[in-house]
Structures are given as C-alpha cells and as structure tokens.
Structure 1
C-alpha cells in the first residue's frame, strides 16, 4: 500500500523536529523513499514554511530554544546525539515509520527540556528485538533514563524483551505499551491510552445513531491492534443493541499465512455487504481512508450507505470525506511518560517509590463520515 503524501510529510516534519537538523539522504533511507522523492517533499515543506532547507540538509523552523540537541545518523537505524554533559540525556526509542508514536515524542520533549534533560532519539528498524541494542548503546553513551515504545508485533516478541528490560539499571517508562499482568515487567512504569474506552466511544456513537450491524477491522502488527480487537469483541458481543458484528484485518493481503480464518482476512467492503452492515470502525487512519475510497469506487456512499469511524486520528480529517475518529491522547502520553521519568530521576532509581501504570482516555471527534442509517 502506497503511503499517502500527507502522512509522509508529517513523518518528515516529526523526524526533523525531533533532531533539529537531518540530512536529506538519511531521511530518504529512514522513510524508504528515493532521494529524489525526499528532495521534492522537502521542497514542498520548505515552501509551506514547515521546514528550512540547507545544502543537503533540512532544519526545523522551531526556535532553537525549543529544539533538542541535534542528532546525526549512524548505523543500525539509530539517531545518536552530539555528546552531552554527563547526566543530562534521556534516550527515547520508538519504531520507524510510526507517525502515531512520533506525536508522543513532541509531548515528551517540552517536559524533558524544562527538566534540563536532552533527548537522544533512537529509531528502531522493523525487526524483532531491534530496540535492545539501541537501548544498550544509549546507556553506554551515558543516558540516565529511557522512554520506550517497542514495536512488539506478537506476544512472543514482547515476552522476549521482558528479561533485559526488567534488568535495566536506570529508570525506564513504557509508552503505549502495557506488559502482561504478572510478568517480569509488571512493575515497570507505563503510560497508555485506554483503548477499551476508545472502542466504547466508537460503538456507542454508532449505536446512538441507530446502527445495529457493524464491522470492526484492526491491524495485526501492534499491541494497540490486539487491545482493540479484544475490546471490540467484548463490547459488541455484550451490547444489547448490536444485532450482528464481525471482525477482520484492516489491511488487504495481511494475515494470509497467520492464525486467521478466511472470514477474518476477508476484504472489508465485501464483509460489510455479507453482513448487511451499515457501519465500520477501522484501525488505523490509513486503512480507514483506503476502505472509504474502496467503498466509493464500488458505489457505496459514505456516510449515506455506510458510516465510517477511524481509530488513531492522525490523518482521518484529511480525507475527501473527513472521517469521524477516535483520538488517543498521543502527545499527552509522551508528556506524562516524561514527567514520570523525570520524577524517577529526581528521586533516584530503585528507591521503592510506587510503580505507576497510567491510563489516559481517548476522545471522539465527529466529522462527516457518520450519520443515521437510511432505512432500506
């Protein structure tokens, strides 16, 4: 699936603002596009005043006092900063190509800057276990603490990280990740969106409009997707006004070799027709926008024939028909995680302070993609 230009532009801006300055060639490699495409994107963003161009580099337009220490690329998908004075650096490890989590970085940055801490940003490639060597490299360089959002595509990959994360000798806070109860990481500070509540908002909005048959679709490659699937299954299965519902994978072609039935890997528009559904809730924004396009191509009107709710609200409002969307508090997750880490650093690691597992509630933004179903 080709990435929308608006999403790529947003990721470019987030990456540059996270470092202050970046090389065009490195951005192209990180976002997996050609250097020619990246130059064109940078030119468009510079004309819009969102970035400032240099010779082979691109600079943030944010005032210098609001930027972290500049980060220059090295091998292994990481971005390491110029040497900072001892004891004032926090490492942030997030997956590549994940605009959702880049927004959490913006929330964390201001809090850490006010605490006199610099960010060393490390971007983990899309391979299992990629976060560990980056974290170890950051600690060897003197990082005092860690903010992490491991990709954790599967529960097995997640559990493989429990041992080394539990053995960390510096404070660490997980962002948008909640380890399994009773596991070695159960006692690690974490800040998450309450995705059950987000699913609840979507279902109640549609039910209140009169929808009784709903299709839910989520990605198959993240803890958020797994949490949402469980939440939709529970909420729809127990809701007295939901007559029929089904779940499927949101991205076409994924899961064909995984533990899914043919029904669960069905094309979402086809599943809507089969169920006679009048509404769909789709994670993530990109998949929701793609499904809305597919419906239009097949003569299905949004929202007259089918209401659509997106989950993430990074790009949902940019579609031809702006999508109603559930918005996890992305920046707030980063801000609260940074506050927890800053407090840990002030009080001293391992001092017996209570572990904090914070959940923040998403919100629902109603746009033009949902309405009452039209009677047949």
Structure 2
C-alpha cells in the first residue's frame, strides 16, 4: 500500500511546478502587454487609426480568415474522409478557429497585406460617408446605371461589372463567409497558405495525409480566385474604356463622388494621371499632404471643379476640414499644371521600383 504522505508531497510538488509555470507565463504576457502599450502610446496621432477604421479593419480581417479557413478546412476534411482518415478528419473538423494563431504568428505585421486591407476599409468608409448629390433631373439614373445601358457594349459590360463587384463587396456579414476575398492574387495566395499552415498546427498529431489534404484544399482555393473580379480592377477597366477627355473628366469624377462610387473616382484619377490604382487611392485618402489637390491641378482642373471635389471629400472624411480646404484653395490654384505634373512624376514609376528606392534610401540613412 502506498504511503499517503508520499502521494501528498508528490501532488504538492506537481502543483507547485504548475503554479510556477503559470506565473512565468503571466510574467511574459505582462512584458508583452507593456511593450504593446508603450508602442501604442508612442504612435503619433496622424499615424493612429481612428476607432471606426480600427473596428472595420478587425471585422474585415476576421471575415477574410473565416472565409478562407472555412474553404480550406471543409475541403480538406472531405478529402480525408474519402481516404478513410477518419481520425485526422475529425481532429481537423473539430479544431478551434485559427484566427488567434495567425495573429500571434505576425500576420498583422505584414505590411503589404495590412496596407491593402486598411486602404480597402478607408475606401468603403469614405464611400459610406459621402453625401449623395441631388441631380438636376431627379429621374435621371446614376452614372453607372447609365453606362450599364450604354450602346457601346464594352462600356456597358464594364459598368455592369463594377455594379456587380460593388454589390458583392458592400457590407461584411457579422458571421459567415464572404462571397470572395477580393484580394490581389499575391495577397490571397499568401493568406491561403498561412491559413493552411495554421490549420495543420491546430491538429495535435498531424500526418502526411493531413498535409496532402490541406495542400490540395489550399490549391483549390487558389484556383478559384480571380483578382480581375475585384472592385478595383473592374473600376480601372471601366476608366480605361471610358478614356475620358480633359473636358469630360471633371464632371465624371464629380458625378462619381456624387453617386458614392469612390472606386470609380480613384480609377478615373489613376487612368488620367497614368499612375497605378494604389497610388491614386493613397492620395485620395491622404488628408494631410494635399497630393490630391496637386493631382487635380496636374489635370488642369479649374477652381470650380477643385472646389466641388474638395468640399465633397471634406464632408465625407472626418479627418478633413472644409474651412481649412477653403483657406487653401487660392494656394492650390496658384500651382501651374506643369509644376503639378513634375511633382507627381515619381508616381508614374512602377510601384515595386518606388518601394525599392524608398527601402534603399531608408537603409542608407
């Protein structure tokens, strides 16, 4: 018969070790929390996300991970069951969400992914804050609706594609998957493979069969993705098809904002300036540098056109101020189109080249 005193001592020692382990883990967690709090405190106000953007970004990221996770997990489980790998299939099917694991892995520090998501959220918030402009003729259809009925089939097709893409993008469900991620192909691929790896890590004893099933499920998700269906791509194709002339552009861009079609506004701006969509989107959101006003002068917009667009954007974006814009208008109009074009010349260079130049310059300093 065992000595009860010995059992009690062994139990106490085991409990003590567990308590010490929890205390050590708490110390590490407290250290990390303090570091995060310091980092947050030191972020300058102009670099801090406002609460509305932060909440929308968290919701979008959650929806993207849930969508890809559901696709990859569901198909991998089906593959495992067809291969009589019931134990692995059950372990994968009943695993917890991988969102936390992805967050801990550094996913949120991926500059390209988070930059795209922040820009996408700001585009959507800007559109939702835009005041719908009253038409002179209340019975007149919106710009996109008119273009979708245009006799030119290329224009009509591309306008309809923008309407479909925006309808699909609009509104993120509180629960459940998105219709599609609407990510650029490179970022969609990156997120799919990370989700697949996180699903593997969620299984206690992964096998070669699980690896194969997850890899096949991930490749299936990649094959189904078409970045050409994104709102941004569809809007840019429409802008190219329109190929607005200088005398047409101010009215088209004004009406785009009046219809709350901010993606089309950005696409028209990008095409007119011969820059990529991302660069035009960035200057549209930039409330502090005034690059957008320089871009409008590069396109030789007159005072009335600049004023209309400036007021519309200032009313939609809480970071902008209508009175401050009005005070700046004289200075904006004093910029000659040739000066503005020269100032924007670097934006006409390829994005990856600009990024490499910036990185090298930062390292050199």
TM superposition score category, shorter chain reference: under 0.3
Pick the structure with greater CA Rg: 2
Q: Which structure has the highest helix share of the two? A: 2
Instruction: State the structure with bigger RCO (CA 8 A, min sep 6), 1 or 2.
Output: 2
Instruction: Report the TM-score when normalising by structure 2.
Output: 0.27
